Structure 1
Amino acid sequence: MTECVSTKPSRASKSLDPHIESVSVASLIAADSPRLAGENVEHANMLAQSETKFPPIIVHRSSMTIIDGIHRLRAAMLQGQDEVDVKYFDGSEKDAFVLAVESNVQHGLPLTLSDRTAAAGRIVKSYPEWSDRAIAAATGLAAKTVAAIRRRPATGEVSQLHMRIGRDGKARPVNSAEGRRLASTLLAENPDASLREVAQAAGVSPGTVRDVRQRLRRNEDPVPPRQRRAELNAAQKARAAKGGSTAAIGGLDQKRATQALMRDPQLRMSEEGRLLLRLFATSIVNKRQQQRLIEWIPRRWRSIITELSYSRSRDWYQFAKQLEACEERADDEQVLEAVG
């Protein structure tokens, strides 16, 4: 499994006091270690036999719990020392655990894969807003591994978060498609707004806003086809996992999708857009309306209306397929232009 240990300073280490103090070994508490198997006696004995001066132990000031350096403490005790040098950490207990994981990933006796996986699950619960890459950097795992841990039922999301914080401290949308749609709405309402302004408001990068603006100028969907298909597949899987839903068709809630179309100024202010909105508005019938019509339609017209309904559905299917093919060609052409 790929590892990606970060060399950048962590958020947690910002609360680390650089001053070194000597404290009694009896005042220190060994607890809450990221090592599932606890201390390694052989490693502590090996350190005790070394003549090298140990670096300071990192201690959580408010609880006097050892964050990093339990084996150095045991080695010092085996050498008969009554005091050890420490650096204090002044953050929260959750930050202390993150620092313990980061410290043990970057030096000393390596954490096992099980240690790091368990630590990642704990950090996901403590900081669900952190990005997969940020947690991966802290635990020495791959971002894909953290994403898989996040999806585990035993881990679970604490809440349905729309943003996550990356390693650079910036918040970004979990679903970039939603960020693109928000950017398109902001651009429609404020066409003179700068890329940076829209990017900050929508939680996406200026480059993404530039791409959205170009797509809108070409009358294209702000979300690329491949991303929309991925979004559709995810929605279908989620719906299937819940036992299916009759309120959505093809991964979209018809009522919400139509309302979103109705709010788009570009559609409302053009003849073609208004025609499209009228077609959608007249074609949407909820289940209660369907049942009412089925019970009311005279028997002599049932076969004809059935065939007309099938014909309309085939027309809409062909319309959808042609529109999808057109968008895929445009997307592929844009990729070729960017590469060329």
Structure 2
Amino acid sequence: MSIVESPALGPVRLLRIADVKPADSPRTGGQVAEYVRLLAEANTELPPIIVDRATMRVIDGMHRLRAAVVRGSQTIEARLFDGSPFEVFVFALRANVENGLPLSLADRSAAAERIVCWRPEWSDRAIASVTGLASGTVAAIRARVGKAEGPTRVGLDGKSRPMSSAEGRRAACEFVVNNPNASLRAIAKAAGISVGTARDVREGLRRGEDPLLPKQRAALENDSGSAALPVPSSRPVEEQRATVDALRNDPSLRYSIVGRMLLRLLDTHAIGSREWLRLADAVPIHYAEMVSEAAHECAGAWRQFAGQLQRRHKMAAAQES
């Protein structure tokens, strides 16, 4: 069930106003006197208020309650709500955001801060949908109060998923390699991801693609420091060239356009550490940063290419066994 889905409420009943207590309202400034006056002077029946059954505190409808008092009423129509204190607060918040007098930005921000502290596992989007704020605003509030999301987060649909979708996609990749005939539901359950993401990972692996999205791969490389200047191969340059020569003898590579492109790229990079140093020294100092960024991009592309080949090899080996 969605975490923001409206719960079932009890039937409408008459409550004595003397038995009803003030709300723990997300409206930090209290009731607006002018709005109470307008409601009291209205010639229409006001909607029932919502009251917490456990505490008899008003969840939604304090302005209507005050208006009833101004009118001199002894009773008021109400519906009872059953839930935890947190559920009560969230319901009151949603009711104030969606109906009646809108909450101020300060009220909604304060409410988001309370939810972040109560439920840090809730995603920014989930909290934003409850408070009427932008998800970026919620993220800023989370950073300010120092309540980071945990390893899993609860989304709008109420389902728990890994905080990093990259981790889920990586886990799905490993599961598919070890269980090539597994269903999409089995993959999704094992990796803690959606069926749609499981399908995307599996189809990508069949095409030899990286299971991580480009932004996820870039973030992973930045976090791990793997975007440092590439280190030349430790193998002697003669062995590197011998590998290229062996590949060049394969007709499937030598006589195809893509194959010849690959051979040219491998041949270009089959140089020793001394040549790499000479290349670095030849770069004008005012272009050093620009060339460094280009080298990082090339190194990242080669790492992704190597990963694709390794996954294809593992999948082929798993299918043969």
* TM value normalised by structure 1: 0.65
1:16 aligns with 2:9: yes
- Counterpart of 1:143 in structure 2: which amino acid? S
Instruction: Give yes or no for contact 1:130–1:166 (8 Å, CA) kept in 2.
Output: yes
Deviation, 1:174, is 1.7
> Separation in 2 of the partners of 1:327 and 1:249?
14
Partner SS, residue 13 of structure 1: coil
Instruction: Give yes or no for contact 1:12–1:98 (8 Å, CA) kept in 2.
Output: no
* TM value normalised by structure 2: 0.69
Cα deviation 1:233-253 (Å, max 9, x = unaligned): 4x3xxxxxxxxxxxx64489x
Instruction: Give yes or no for contact 1:16–1:87 (8 Å, CA) kept in 2.
Output: yes
Aligned to 1:228: 217
> Separation in 2 of the partners of 1:193 and 1:231?
27
Aligned to 1:41: 33
1:194 aligns with 2:190: no
Which of 47, 54, 64 lines up with 2:56 in the alignment? 64
Superposition map of 1:67-106 within 5 A = 67-106=59-98
**Residue ranges of structure 1 left out of the alignment (5+ in a row):** 1-7, 236-247, 253-271, 273-306, 331-340
Superposition map of 1:133-172 within 5 A = 133-152=125-144, 154-157=145-148, 161-172=150-161
Instruction: Give yes or no for contact 2:227–2:300 (8 Å, CA) kept in 1.
Output: no
> Separation in 2 of the partners of 1:193 and 1:10?
30
> Separation in 1 of the partners of 2:46 and 2:213?
55
Deviation, 1:10, is 6.1
**Residue ranges of structure 2 left out of the alignment (5+ in a row):** 229-242, 244-272, 281-291, 307-321
Greater CA radius of gyration, 1 or 2?
2
Partner SS, residue 14 of structure 1: coil
Deviation, 1:47, is 0.7
- Counterpart of 1:13 in structure 2: which amino acid? S
Aligned to 2:300: 324
Deviation, 1:68, is 0.3
For the aligned residue pairs, the C-alpha RMSD in angstroms reads 3.0
Cα deviation 1:79-110 (Å, max 9, x = unaligned): 00011111011000100000001001111011
Which of 141, 159, 164 lines up with 1:175 in the alignment? 164
Deviates more, 1:140-149 or 1:114-123: 140-149
Deviation, 1:12, is 6.2
Instruction: Give yes or no for contact 1:129–1:161 (8 Å, CA) kept in 2.
Output: yes
**How many residues are paired up?**
248
- Counterpart of 2:69 in structure 1: which amino acid? M
Deviation, 1:220, is 4.0
Partner SS, residue 12 of structure 2: strand
The 1:82/1:166 distance shift into structure 2, 3 A limit, reads same
Instruction: Give yes or no for contact 1:104–1:110 (8 Å, CA) kept in 2.
Output: yes
